Structure 1
Amino acid sequence: MKNIYLIYFLLILLSACGSKPTNSVSLTGEIDGLDNDTLYIYGTDKMYNRMDTLIVEKGKFSATLSVDTLVSTWLQFSDGTEYPLYLNKGDKIKIKGSKADLSSLEITGNTPNEELTAFQKDLKGLGKPSDKMLEQKAEAFIENHHSSLVSIYLLEKYFVQKPQPDFASIKKLIDRMTGELKDRPYIDELMDRIQEEEKVAVGKMSPYFHLTNAKGKNINRTDFKDKYLLVHFWASWDQPSRDANADLRRIYKKELKNKDFAILGISLDIDKEVWKDAIKKDTLDWEQTCDFSGWNTETVKQFAIQTLPSNILLSPSGKIDGKNLSTEAIEKKLKEISQKEK
């Protein structure tokens, strides 16, 4: 009897050893013209919080990755190009493409990869579509794929990553998604951002703020009482910010005698001497402030600033009158202010 139990126990062990792991995904690919290279796979959120390396030899690569649930990742090429890649346990993913067009790959092996492949092929058939057409295509996909991870990617690419995102429209698109997608870390973080953006939307009262200027003096909103105040967020290490400084310098000189308008610079620098040097080099004669906390600057959080340069126009009553205005829009607003005062 003991021998029978022993044989039974050994059979169970052999069966367990022979079974394939279920928490893995096999990945094979062939990119024409890529030759020998190194690719990387990393997650878009904490659900896949590591980076894997793929060695490419003569345009071909393969790997077995550990994955225990459906995750959204990026496939990164050595030239910096990134492409969405969706992985799930048990999948056998195949990637095909050309080095000449890394922005459009053919990926099979599970539903989200195949959905994105079909979407990209559809876009190719449009020739050179306008931004509006691309948004319409992305919106239509999201409406018809409420539970697809591809919907999150398209939401981010065509609606969130814009100079001035329409958060009301973004919110409506999120509302159409299933609870499974809404529970994803990215959507959770995006909803938090939308809530912060809504607090400082055009028409809302500006939050109270105070910072220290280059001379160590405390600066706050009341120092610009009864004036239109353009708050400009910038940093010495950000070239677009420096370019915006040049445009503002021209406006400042033109409006020097305008008692109803002022500019306040808020820098995200962390080195005081570098900041002061940039002020001098860019000839910034208007008020400049910085607390040397970078993106952790309290005023940056208060105004939900996400990119540089950014600007907020405050009315004399303290309401937010405009956000991320172009040079032309600022000049137009100043003309309107001037006409009102006459």
Structure 2
Amino acid sequence: MIRNFLYSILLTLVVCSCGVDGKHFKLEGRLLHLNQGEFYVYSTDGLLNGIDTVKIVGGRFAYEIPCTEQGTLVIVFPNFYEQPVFAAPGKSVKVTGDASLLRELETEGTRDNELMTAFRKQVSGLSPQQTIAAAAAFAQKNADSEAALWIVRKYFVATPSPDYAQARKLLATLHDRQPRNGNVARLAQQVNALAATVSGAKLPKFSCTDTSGNTVSSSEITKAAVGVIYLWASWNYESTEMQRRLKQMKDKAGNKLCVIGFSVDAAQASCNSFLERDSVKWSNVCDGLMFESKTVRTLGLYSIPSNILLKNGKIIERNVSSQELMRKLEELL
């Protein structure tokens, strides 16, 4: 009997050591064709403060965080493809697949993650219009899930062509099914704020610190006759090319044009390197929080490149192409 009792204790210890306690969340995985490397992890809802770096060794990785409530983590892979992982206290999730086919990765361990995996498979090969329809149907059908909240954010809010009306409808459904989920309420508030930044609206107020340590505020650009706010990253060619063309325009226009840049690079050194290379002198903000930067979210800059064109402090265009932005600046200046 004593032997059996000791065996039971030993077995319990082994099982517990391999699992995760009720106040933590564990993410682990195995990736083919990526033996060594790293990726970033950030949160869309405050589950993490800042950004963590996770090492991949021998194609495997493991990452554990304190977790007392549900939330969403976002994995940013070396090619900057993003994938959500839904965390919950006491849960463990596993990601597997081929690193050369990141869109086909499978995440298992909780209902939310398995729903998301199924959705990615469902929309693979669909047209953009069909994908949007599938996203709306998914959110309505699974309105009690964190996955539905991610779908609403990704396809109806954080997109170059947001549909705030549809987002509001879907969030109302989610709120009915998840009345105590503060993340649903917060996204609904963000949508209301973003809906106020359409063409013709005033620029939302903001104040932050640029890469030189100087304060940058909305009053600086709203006082200008013509202003441009743009989102860029050192790893995105289209956005760095837009920045170079803005420099050419700024050199010609001088003080008639006010420009403020926001970089979503994880490391300020990467941002500074490009600014020095291209001799960009105007204010650029890079706080290392990527798309979760408070000001970036306030301004509704959810994709790269994004831009806001202002005339006398009012928004007249959003998210136009680099070529169209230059054409409009030529007209205004």
Aligned counterpart, 1:87: 87
Name the residue aligned to 2:214.
none
Secondary structure at 2:199 match in 1: coil
After superposition, the Cα gap between the structure-2 partners of 1:268 and 1:178, relative to the gap in structure 1 and judged at 3 Å, is: closer
> Which residue in the other structure is 1:115 paired with?
115
Alignment of 1:71-220 (within 5 A): 71-75=71-75, 81-91=81-91, 93-124=93-124, 128-178=125-175, 187-204=184-201
Q: 1:182 to 1:170 in 2, by over 3 A?
A: farther
| Alpha carbons of structure 1 residues 166 and 98: separation in structure 2 relative to 1, 3 Å | same
Counterparts in 2 of 1:231 and 1:113: CA distance versus 1, 3 Å: closer
Q: Displacement of 1:190 after TM fit?
A: 3.6
1:47 pairs with 2:47: yes
Greater CA drift, 319-328 or 149-158 = 319-328
For structure 2, the residue ranges without an aligned partner over 5 or more in a row are 207-218, 288-294
Q: Describe the shift of the 1:169–1:250 C-alpha distance in structure 2 as closer, same or farther (beyond 3 A).
A: farther
Cα–Cα, structure 1 residues 252 and 181, in superposed 2: closer, same or farther, change >3 Å?
same
Which residue identity does 2:122 align to in structure 1? D
Distance 1:27 1:310 in 2: 32
Give the Å deviation of 1:248.
6.3
Q: How many Å apart are 1:146 and its aligned residue?
A: 0.7
Structure 1's unaligned 5+ residue stretches are 1-10, 210-217, 257-261, 283-287, 338-342
Paired residues of 1:265 and 1:289 also in contact (CA < 8 A): yes
- Alpha-carbon shift at residue 249 of structure 1 (Å): 8.3
CA distance in 2, matches of 1:51, 1:99: 20
* CA deviation map 1:222-275 (0-9, x unaligned): 875xxxx5645589989756633665689899x99xxxxx754446699xxx9x
SS in 2 for 1:103: helix
Cα pair 1:233 1:267 within 8 Å, conserved: yes
Where does residue 306 of structure 1 map in the other structure? 301
Structure 2 residue corresponding to 1:323, chosen from 313, 318, 321: 318
* 1:92 CA displacement: 5.2
In structure 2, distance between residues paired with 1:95 and 1:208? 40
Q: Which amino acid aligns with 1:322?
A: E
Using structure 2 for the length normalisation, give the TM-score: 0.59
Does the CA contact (< 8 Å) of 2:29 and 2:62 recur in 1?
yes
The count of corresponding residues between Structure 1 and Structure 2 is 290
Give the superposition deviation at 1:52. Answer: 8.0
Cα 1:248/1:182, change in 2 over 3 Å: farther
Q: 1:165, 1:182 → 2: CA distance?
A: 24
In structure 2, distance between residues paired with 1:56 and 1:222: 52
CA distance in 2, matches of 1:150, 1:101: 21
Alignment-mate amino acid for residue 241 of structure 2: D
Deviation at 1:115, TM superposition (A): 0.8
Distance in 1, Cα, partners of 2:233 & 2:97? 40
Q: CA deviation at 1:111?
A: 0.8
Cα separation, partners in 2 of 1:328 and 1:111, compared to 1, 3 Å? same
Residue 334 to residue 105, structure 1, CA distance change in 2 (3 Å): closer
Asked whether the 8 Å contact 1:232–1:263 carries over to 2, the reply is: no
Query: Residue 61 of structure 1: CA displacement?
Result: 5.8
Q: Supply the distance in 2 between the matched residues of 1:95 and 1:116 (Cα, whole angstroms).
A: 12
Cα 1:177–1:31, aligned 2, differ >3 Å: closer, same or farther? Answer: same
